[in-house]
Each structure stands twice: as C-alpha cells, then as structure tokens.
C-alpha cells in the first residue's frame, strides 16, 4: 500500500469500494489510456466497466437503485480514476453533479423518472452553465426560456458541455422572467432529455460537434444551440422557477470537490511516475534520486500531494455533514489544482528529454493538468469565494 494520500476513518465498505476501483484502474484504465487519449477515442469499454461496478449510481440513494454512498466515497473514487486517466473521471463527474442536484432538489416525480436509470448509467448527465461570451459572470446568462401555455421555449447558445454528445440529459441553467430585482433570482434550471449524438438531436436542439482540446481527450466537450426548443414546465428542476442559480451552486460545490479529487489523482500519478523514473535513471554513476536536487524535489512533490488530498477530504466530509463548505471547497479546489500543475511539471522535469516524448505518460499529464486550473471556476474565482467567505466570518465589529 502506498504511503501517500491515505484517508483515515473509512468504513470497511468504503475501503472495499476503493480497492476494487484501484484494481480496475490498474488493469483496465492505465494500460489503455495512452492509446485512447492519443486517438481522442471515447473509452467505451472502460465506461461499460464502470457501469457494471455501479459507479454511475454511487451517490444515488438506495431507494432509487443507487449505492447511497457519501460525497467522500465518490471523491476518493474519482481520485483513483483520475490517477488512471482524467478523462474517465470526466465521464462521471457531470453525471454525478446532475444526479446530486436531482436527489437534493428534484420533485418526487423527477427523482423516480431519472435517478433509477442514472444509477445504472442508462441515463447519463451533463451540466450546462457557461456560454460563449459568459466567462465566470453566471448572472449575465443570455440563453432565455420564455413561458408558453404548455411550457417553455428556449433560445440561446451554451458552451463547454462535458459529455455534451454522449449524455442524454442536460441540467441547463437559463434566464426566465421571474420579475426579481436580483439577476440570479431570474435563473432557472431545466432537465433537458435528448438523444445521444451530434447534429440536430431534437427539434430546436443542436450539438454541433466535439471541441478540439489540448488535453482532456476522449471525453466529448461540446456546444449546445437552442433554437425554439420546447420543454414542459414539469422539467423545471424542483418545479421551482427562479431557484436555478442556487441549485446550480449546490452542484458546483460538489463539483469543486470533484475537481480537487481529480487534481489529486493526477498529482499522485505524476509523483508515482517521477519517483519510479528517478530510481531507474542514472547519471554520474548513481540513480538521479540519490542526487540531493532530485531527492528534495520528490520530497516537495509528495508534501504537496498529501496537503491537497487532506484538504479535499476535509471539504468532502464537511459537505457530507450538511455544513456549508463553499470556502473549504474553494480552498481544496484552489490548492489541489495549483499543486497538481506544479507536481506534474516537476515530474516532467525529472524525466528530462523523455518527458517530451509521447511514449511517456507524463507528456499526457502535462496536457491534462492545466484544465483543472480552469474547470469549475478559475483560481481567481476560488480566491474571490474564499475571501468573501472569510470576510463574512471575520466581519469587523469596529
């Protein structure tokens, strides 16, 4: 058992789940990740394996056919999967966020309609807030849903949908006319069912195609264009117009824990590759791990891995307890993504010229790690969230 990134206080069930997932990653993910990633090929067989293990329903309540496990269990599973290949964790990340939002905020009819099929992976979710010109200003969303006699009509363009083509359910945040003074209270989340695939997948809904990315290959990232798309009022999440922003932010909080977990997974793998290579590669008559410059670098890398893992675990446990964790999730996401980039670059440097070769796994990690600096909010957004939370808690009494 590796020393780093161990989690105290796990149940026997949690330990068994993680051991099973690690074995799956070592046998079914890592040996195939390079070939699939370089081909930008969807990991169909790996996804089928995750379905069989019940990972798509890991947090879905047992009464709806899931495993009913905690956010901590899920985050530790994601850490293991991302250690193998980050794109595979991306397949279940947005799905998990949507399942969480339906479990927490959906009507009973919505829960019974979606959750049992989400638990098996028959229904797979994607998550859509961003727009082509939006950036981090979610309240400035332009995509609009107008009320009609029998539901809503949606018009506008959304951007950066992970699993946009391979999913058949989108949690979609759009603007509605609720008459509220605050912009975020005029935002509503819809549950949009659609066929898988690209092109005009439904009347008024087009998924143009995959966005070509530097890394994060295999998983499809897309746009979604709505042009007169009709949807029933019963597909408003919780049948609560105007509460979509709050529901999405709840989803983003668990998403930030997830991104932190993915960053930990990549950092763990980068360290594993570096520490193995450093003991095999010899210069000046001895392994480079015996040179103090490399030994100290390994020590710093391991410390960063451990710190990021502990903060991620803390944020997950807080959310599981029912406590507010916006600051802690922001801190975990911030430090884990930044440390991941640093640890991966250090591993790349330890590999020397070989790190630049596509034959070596570290080259892939170098292209994947930067995504985590952006996903679920940039580092600057995390600092904004953290500072606001701290100022709220430490408000001056003078």
Q: Which pLDDT tens digit goes with each residue over 285-330?
A: 999 999 999 999 999 999 999 999 999 999 999 999 988 889 999 9
Give how far the C-alpha of residue 104 lies from the chain's centroid of Cα atoms, to the nearest Å: 18
Q: Is 376 a catalytic residue?
A: yes
Q: N- to C-terminal Cα distance for the chain?
A: 53
Burial class (CB in 10 A: 0-12, 13-18, 19+), 271: buried
| Helix, coil or strand: residue 20 | helix
pLDDT the model gives residue 370: 95
pLDDT the model gives residue 179: 87
Of 128, 145, 125, nearest to 196 by C-alpha is: 125
Q: Within 10 A of 282 (CB to CB), how many other CB atoms are there?
A: 11
pLDDT the model gives residue 277: 97
Sign of CA dihedral 264, 252, 163, 156: negative
From 359, 376, 380, 393, the catalytic residue: 376
Query: What's the average pLDDT block by block, 10 residues per block, for the chain (398 residues)?
Result: 85 96 97 96 96 95 96 96 95 93 97 98 93 76 94 96 95 93 92 97 96 94 97 96 93 90 97 97 95 97 97 95 90 97 98 94 96 89 94 83
pLDDT the model gives residue 135: 66
């Amino acid at each position: 058992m590796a020393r780093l990134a161990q989690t105290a206080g796990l149940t026997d069930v949690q330990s068994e789940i993680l051991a099973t997932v690690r074995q799956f990653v070592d046998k079914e993910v890592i040996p195939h990740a390079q070939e699939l990633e370089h081909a930008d090929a969807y990991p169909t067989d790996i996804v089928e394996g995750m379905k069989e293990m019940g990972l798509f329903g890991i947090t879905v309540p047992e009464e709806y056919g899931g495993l009913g496990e905690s956010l901590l269990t899920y985050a530790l599973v994601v850490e293991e999967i991302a250690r193998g290949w980050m794109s595979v964790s991306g397949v279940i990340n947005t799905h998990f966020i949507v399942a969480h939002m339906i479990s927490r905020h959906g009507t009973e009819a919505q829960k019974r309609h979606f959750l049992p099929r989400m638990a098996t992976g028959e229904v797979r979710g994607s998550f859509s807030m961003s727009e082509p010109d939006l950036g981090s200003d979610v309240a400035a969303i332009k995509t609009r849903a107008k009320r009609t006699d029998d539901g809503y009509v949606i018009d506008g363009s959304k951007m950066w949908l992970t699993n946009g083509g391979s999913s058949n359910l989108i949690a979609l945040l759009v603007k509605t006319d609720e008459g509220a003074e605050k912009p975020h209270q005029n935002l509503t989340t819809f549950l949009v069912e659609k066929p898988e695939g690209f092109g005009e997948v439904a009347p008024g809904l087009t998924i143009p195609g995959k966005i070509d990315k530097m890394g994060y290959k295999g998983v499809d990232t897309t746009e979604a264009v709505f042009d007169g798309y009709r949807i029933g009022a019963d597909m408003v999440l919780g049948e609560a117009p105007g509460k979509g922003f709050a529901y999405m932010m709840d989803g983003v909080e668990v998403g930030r824990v997830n991104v932190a977990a993915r960053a930990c997974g990549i950092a763990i793998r980068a360290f594993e590759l570096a520490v193995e290579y450093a003991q095999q590669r010899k210069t000046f008559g001895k392994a480079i791990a015996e040179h103090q410059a490399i030994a100290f670098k390994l020590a710093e890398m391991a410390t960063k891995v451990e710190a990021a893992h502990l903060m991620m675990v803390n944020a997950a446990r807080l959310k599981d307890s029912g406590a507010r964790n916006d600051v802690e999730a922001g801190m975990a996401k911030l430090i884990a993504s930044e440390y991941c980039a640093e640890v991966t670059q250090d591993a790349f440097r330890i590999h020397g010229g070989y790190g630049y070769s596509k034959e070596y796994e570290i080259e892939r990690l170098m292209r994947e790690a930067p995504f985590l600096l952006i996903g679920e909010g940039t580092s600057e957004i995390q600092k904004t969230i953290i500072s606001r939370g701290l100022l709220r808690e430490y408000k001056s009494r003078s």
